[in-house]
């Protein structure tokens, strides 16, 4: 099983497209996670050979990277830090499982 030390050692291994193997690994994982197209099996196939602590390290690294994505979205939407409060009545309307609802809706329409 690969360990955290194995992951960290990727920083010193060159890659032909990315700065190093570490960047290649995490950018690939981030891409699979964000794209959501078959992400579960794609991510599992990549991390299958990593031990628990290494997978935990991967989680924390991806958390930092995805947080960066959220910051970029904040800028794209032209939001400012001085106005980030969303009233509870609207916050309660935020869906946590939108993707599944869309899939179910399409499936229902197709089956009718």
Split into its structural domains, the chain has a count of 1
Cβ neighbours around 105 below 10 Å, total: 10
108 falls within a domain = no
90 falls within a domain = no
Q: Which of 61, 51, 1, 4 is nearest to 30 (CA)?
A: 61
Residue 70, domain extent: 4-81
Q: What is the pLDDT of residues 2-54, one digit of tens each?
A: 999 999 999 999 999 999 999 999 999 999 988 867 889 999 999 999 999 99
CA angle, 10 then 51 then 69, to 5°: 60
Residue in the block written with tokens 């190093």: 20
51 Cβ contact list (under 8 Å, min separation 6): 1, 2, 3
112 falls within a domain = no
- pTM given for the model: 0.70
């Amino acid at each position: 099983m690969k360990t955290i030390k194995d992951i960290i050692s990727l920083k010193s291994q060159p890659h032909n497209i990315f700065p190093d193997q570490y960047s290649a690994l995490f950018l690939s994982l981030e891409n699979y996670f964000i794209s959501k197209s078959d992400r579960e099996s794609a991510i599992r196939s990549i991390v299958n050979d990593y031990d628990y602590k290494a997978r935990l390290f991967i989680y924390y690294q991806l958390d930092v990277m995805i947080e960066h994505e959220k910051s970029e979205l904040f800028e794209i939407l032209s939001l400012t830090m001085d106005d980030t409060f969303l009233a509870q009545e609207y916050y309660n309307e935020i869906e946590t499982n939108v993707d599944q609802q869309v899939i179910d809706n399409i499936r229902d329409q197709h089956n009718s």
